[in-house]
Amino acid sequence: MKAIVCKAYGPAETLVIEEVPSPEVKGRGVKVRVRAAGLNFPDTLIIEGKYQFQPPMPFSPGGEMAGEVIAVGDQVTRFRPGDRVAGLTGYGAFAEEVVVAEDNLLPVPDAMSDEQAAAFTMVYGTSYHALKQRANLQPGETLLVLGASGGVGLAAVELGKAMGARVIAAASSAEKLAVARAAGADELINYRDEPLKDAAKRLTRGKGVDVVYDPVGGDFTEQALRAMAWNGRHLIVGFAAGEIPKIPANLTLLKGCSVVGVFWGDFTRREPQTSAENMQALLTLFAEGRITPTISQVYAFEDYVDAFGALTGRRATGKVVLRVARD
């Protein structure tokens, strides 16, 4: 089978496509023929040796995929060959076949395409956990979403609306903000036109925002924290801007607010039952038409360098997906 392989840390240009052995399946493993794979920001870090964990070399990157079950281990009870599934791999999804732990897979509904399924689990799982368990977002509260045109940002916009919040979307261009508006954002902030703090204060008539969803980091984190309302919650989701911010701790005292970390990957391992309940709730929202994955572009398998570039160059509006196999 073919796989995109990382043999040395570096940018996407250092990856290669090679023939590799088909993986063995046993126990609670499920072998999946990958139809589509989603690209996420951690993928860009893993191949450069900058992520929290590193697979042993050589490895195939890719933490999220959708496809068809082709074989199951002798302890698998939920799936059988022919089932359509989606889920998380950690790494290895940028290959024609991958073995995934049974607990890391979801059944894919008929109404969801392979590309949508490959763009579903991580962004909605992260954003739902952030807003529900970490922020306890309530109907009528104001949610400020930074990086609102990216994969997790758009998911947060949709889910914030589904939870009854007033959603303010922030992004760096009119084009990106138009995508956030289409996803349901009530108000828009263009970083380039107005300072984030000033705009958020203006749109809340000086009160500030109740919850900040922050996958961006950099200078925007402190600006958003300064726009926080009393008892607000600032969700630290990631650092797409490339810089881990240092924030004045006295702001949390003065505003009576919380800075809350969101590590969805560890949450799924530590609280599997709650995570499973979250995913079921998300599938229900999809079935009701209240959330729909926004896909920026689908790339052919061999065009993986361009796909990574769309993500690292921050050109994507929504999820970037690789089409891996059709048959």
Same domain flag for 109 and 137:
no
Structure tokens at 232: 């607000």
Same domain flag for 254 and 178:
yes
**Average pLDDT of 3-17?**
95
Q: Which residue has the tokens 């949610």?
A: 143
Same domain flag for 22 and 146:
no
* Under 8 Å between Cβ of 116 and 131: no
For the domain that residue 158 is a member of, what is the CATH number?
3.40.50.720
Q: Is residue 238 part of a domain?
A: yes
| Closest of 32, 306, 311, 1 to residue 152, by C-alpha | 311
CB atoms within 10 A of CB 287: 12
Q: Is residue 273 part of a domain?
A: no
What is the Cα–Cα distance from 83 to 64, expressed in whole angstroms?
17
Same domain flag for 233 and 246:
yes
* Under 8 Å between Cβ of 62 and 122: no
Band of the pLDDT at 298, cuts 50, 70, 90? very high
| Closest of 59, 112, 48, 127 to residue 90, by C-alpha | 59
Is it the case that residue 327 has pLDDT exceeding 70? no
Domain end residue (candidates: 249, 265, 281):
265
Residue 64 sits at φ, ψ, to 5 deg, of -150, 135
Same domain flag for 8 and 29:
yes
| Closest of 99, 98, 100, 96 to residue 2, by C-alpha | 96
- Give the model's pLDDT for residue 326: 63
Cis preceding linkage at 11, omega within 30: no
What is the Cα–Cα distance from 307 to 61, expressed in whole angstroms?
13
Rounded percentage of the chain residues whose pLDDT exceeds 70: 99
Owning domain of residue 139: 123-265
Q: How many domains does the chain have?
A: 2
* Under 8 Å between Cβ of 104 and 69: no
* Under 8 Å between Cβ of 91 and 63: yes
Domain end residue (candidates: 218, 248, 265):
265
Same domain flag for 34 and 152:
no
Same domain flag for 110 and 137:
no
Same domain flag for 148 and 259:
yes
**What are the pLDDT digits (tens) for 45-82?**
999 998 878 899 999 999 999 999 999 999 999 999 99
Same domain flag for 110 and 156:
no
Predicted model pTM: 0.90
Q: Is residue 67 part of a domain?
A: yes
Higher-confidence position of 41 and 133: 133
CB burial of residue 289 (10 Å; 0-12, 13-18, 19+): exposed
**What are the pLDDT digits (tens) for 193-239?**
999 999 999 999 999 999 999 999 999 999 999 999 999 999 999 98
Domain end residue (candidates: 225, 247, 265):
265
Q: Is residue 278 part of a domain?
A: no
**What are the pLDDT digits (tens) for 135-183?**
999 999 999 999 999 889 999 999 999 999 999 999 989 999 999 999 9
Residue 299 sits at φ, ψ, to 5 deg, of -110, 145
Same domain flag for 189 and 254:
yes
